Amino acid sequence: MEQPITAQADESALVAAFEARIAAGESIEPKDWMPERYRKQLVRMMSQHAHSEVVGMLPEGNWITRAPSLRRKMSLIAKVQDEAGHGLYIYCGTETLGVDRHELLEQLLDGRAKYSSIFNYPTLSWADMGVIGWLVDGAAIVNQTILAKTSYGPYARAMVRICKEENFHKRQGYEICATLANGTPAQRAMLQEAVDRIWWPALMMFGPSDTDSPNSAELLKWRVKRKTNDELRQRFVNLTVPQAIAIGLTLPDPDLRFDESTGNWEFGEIDWTEFFQVIKGEGPCNRERLAARNQAHADGAWVREAAAAHAAKQQRSSTQAA
Ligand SMILES: [Fe+2]
Ligand SMILES: [Fe+2]
C-alpha cells in the first residue's frame, strides 16, 4: 500500500530540488518555486537596497545648486538621476517577488524600513561630493559586483547595469578628489577633512561583522550573498588605500598597515556602537532625511496623478480603437 505523501515531505523535496539548482549555479527566476524564507529575505534585502538608492539622492542633491562649474553640475545631476533609476530597477525587481512597491514606499516614508546607514550623515562641503563618489559609490561597487552573481535572476541582472553606472559615479568622485588634492592648501584641507569624516562610515556600509550578522549564513547558503560582510569590507580597503596614497591623502586610522603575509591592508576597530545607533534612527541626519523624503513624495503627488490620468486616457483610446 502506498504511503500518503505529507505536505511536509512534499516541501522538503521541493527545497532539496531548489538547493540542488542553486548548487549547480542555476539562477532562480520569478515563476520558479522558492522557499518562503528565500522570497522574504530577498524582499528585505532588495527593498533596503532600493530605499538606499532613493535616499542616497538627498545628501548629493543638496549640492547641485552649489557645484563649482557647469561640468561638475552636469555630472552631479546625472549621478543623482542615475540613483533614482537604480531605485526604480530594484523596486521593479521586488515586484517579481509579489510585493507591491507602494507597500515598500509606505514602509520607507513612515520610518519602518531600513536603508544604508551612510546616508544619515551630513554633506558639509563640496569635497564631500568627491569623497562620496569615491568612497560610497566605490563601496557600493564592491558590494554590487558580487550581487551581480546572486542566485535570484532579476536582482542579478539589475546589478549588471547598475554597476556600469556606479563606475561613472566613482570616477567623477575620484576626479573631484584628485583635482582638490592638486589644488590650494585650503582645497587640500577641505578634502582631507571630508575623508576624515566619511572613511569610517564608508567601512560601516558593509554591515555588521560576520560574527554579528544574523542573516548572513542563510543568505550565503542560498547564494543570495556570495561573500561575507567582512570579506567585502577587506576587499574595499585593499582597493581604496592605494588610491588614497596616490593623491596624497591620509586615512584616519592609526592601525592601518599592509600585511605582507596576507596581502591585506589591516585596519582598526570599527565603532559598532555608532553603527547600531545610526541603524536605530539616531544618526546625525535620520530625521532630516525622512522628512525630506516625505516632503518630496508629497510634492510629487500631482506628477503621479497626472501620470495615472495619462495612462488611463491611453488605455481608453486603445480600447476604443480595438
Ligand atoms: Fe546607485
Ligand atoms: Fe552611485
Ligand nearest to the CA of 54: 1
Q: Is 207 helix (H, G, I), strand (E, B) or coil?
A: coil
Spell out the residues 6+ positions from residue 169 whose beta carbon is closer than 8 angstroms to its own: 79, 82, 133, 137
Q: At what angle do helices 70-95 and 101-109 cross, to 10 degrees?
A: 120
What spacing in Å lies between the alpha carbon of 249 and ligand 1's midpoint?
A: 25
Burial class of residue 270 (count of CB atoms within 10 Å of its CB; 0-12, 13-18, 19+): middle
Q: What percent of the chain has pLDDT over 70?
A: 98
User: pLDDT averaged over the chain?
Assistant: 94
What spacing in Å lies between the alpha carbon of 235 and ligand 1's midpoint?
A: 19
Query: Does the pLDDT value for residue 1 go beyond 50?
Result: no
Ligand nearest to the CA of 168: 2
What spacing in Å lies between the alpha carbon of 176 and ligand 1's midpoint?
A: 18
User: Could you tell me the three cell numbers for 95?
Assistant: 515586484
The pLDDT, as a whole number, for residue 5 is 55
* Full-model pTM: 0.92
What spacing in Å lies between the alpha carbon of 259 and ligand 2's midpoint?
A: 31
User: Which tens digits make up the pLDDT trace of 164-217?
Assistant: 999 999 999 999 999 999 999 999 999 999 999 999 999 999 999 888 877 788
The pLDDT, as a whole number, for residue 156 is 96
Ligand nearest to the CA of 60: 2
| pLDDT (average), residues 110-122 | 93
Q: CB neighbours (10 Å) of residue 256? A: 16
| pLDDT (average), residues 120-125 | 96
> Which residues are in the CB-under-5-Å shell of ion ligand 2?
137, 166, 169
Residues 196 and 233: their CA atoms lie apart, in Å, by: 18
User: Which tens digits make up the pLDDT trace of 268-300?
Assistant: 999 999 999 999 889 999 999 999 999 999 999
